Chains A and B, each alone.
Chain A
Amino acid sequence: SAVISQKPSRDICQRGTSLTIQCQVDSQVTMMFWYRQQPGQSLTLIATANQGSEATYESGFVIDKFPISRPNLTFSTLTVSNMSPEDSSIYLCSAGDRGNTGELFFGEGSRLTVL
């Protein structure tokens, strides 16, 4: 199993600003992902965070809006850039090991409110 810590847990942001969310895993993992969960909705995959290279983005998400870093096997950041009220969501970091059961472990999420 893996324990995932995210920060900030919540924040209130002004329109037009950017915020970086940090994700720390307590063990080395192969795969790290970032999901968005809009209020009352399910989870949508934003991107796969690749160690030492550019993230792989899903349709509808672009690097300029959601730059992601993953400098090592246990840490990743997601930046939400030039925020608008539509970016108000919970952002969840998850991690798992390729070739393992396929189970993912999740952080508690970062709840962003954009005014």
Chain B
Amino acid sequence: SQQGEEDPQALSIQEGENATMNCSYKTSINNLQWYRQNSGRGLVHLILIRSNEREKHSGRLRVTLDTSKKSSSLLITASRAADTASYFCATGAAGNKLTFGGGTRVLVKP
């Protein structure tokens, strides 16, 4: 079963704009991760934030985690056409097992 719910389900923006997507989850976690999936491809790991962290940056990515609200957000700044993809949050528990959210489909228009 899916642990996380993401919103929006789809997002369309212009190149250069920022894209923000949110993830909510239900149970306690060790970490929360974000992955990208280009159409017809496998998933690529973007960033991991541990349960004792509140914010993390990686290049144009910024992730926040609020464990009291059981929610996380992913911000992509200065988006590019190549950022067009589906983005999934995944919550990690014991044993490296990940449970994925529903995903957000992002379209960046040139």
User: Residue A42 at the B interface, CB < 8 A?
Assistant: yes
Check B33–A103 contact: CB distance below 8 A.
yes
- A75 at the B interface (CB under 8 A): no
In the assembled complex, B95 has its CB within 8 A of some CB on chain A: yes
For window 56-94 of B, CB contacts with A under 8 Å fall at 88, 92
Option from B40, B88, B97 in Cβ contact (under 8 Å) with A33: B97
* Residue pair A43, B100 in contact (C-beta under 8 Å): yes
The reply to whether the CB of B31 lies closer than 8 angstroms to some CB of chain A is: yes
Binds B, one of A13-21, A62-70, A76-84, A106-114: A106-114
The answer to whether A106 touches B97, judged by C-beta atoms less than 8 angstroms apart, is no
A53 part of interface (Cβ distance < 8 Å) = no
A101 to B98, CA, bound (A): 12
- Which of A31, A44, A103, A106 contacts B42 (CB under 8 A)? A106
Instruction: Evaluate contact between B42 and A102: CB separation under 8 angstroms.
Output: no
B96 A45 Cβ-Cβ under 8 A? no
B48 touches A103 (CB 8 A): yes
Given A43-B88, A102-B30, the answer on whether A31 and B95 have CB atoms closer than 8 Å is: yes
* A100-B33 Cα distance, complex, nearest whole Å: 14
When distances are taken between beta carbons in the complex, the residues of chain B under 8 Å from A33 are 96-98
In Å, the complex CA distance between A101 and B32 comes to: 11
B99 within 8 A of A: yes
| In the complex with contacts A31-B96, A48-B95, A106-B101 CB distance below 8 A | no
Q: Interface residues, chain A, CB within 8 Å of chain B?
A: 4, 30-31, 33, 35, 41-45, 48, 59, 92, 94, 96-98, 100-109, 111
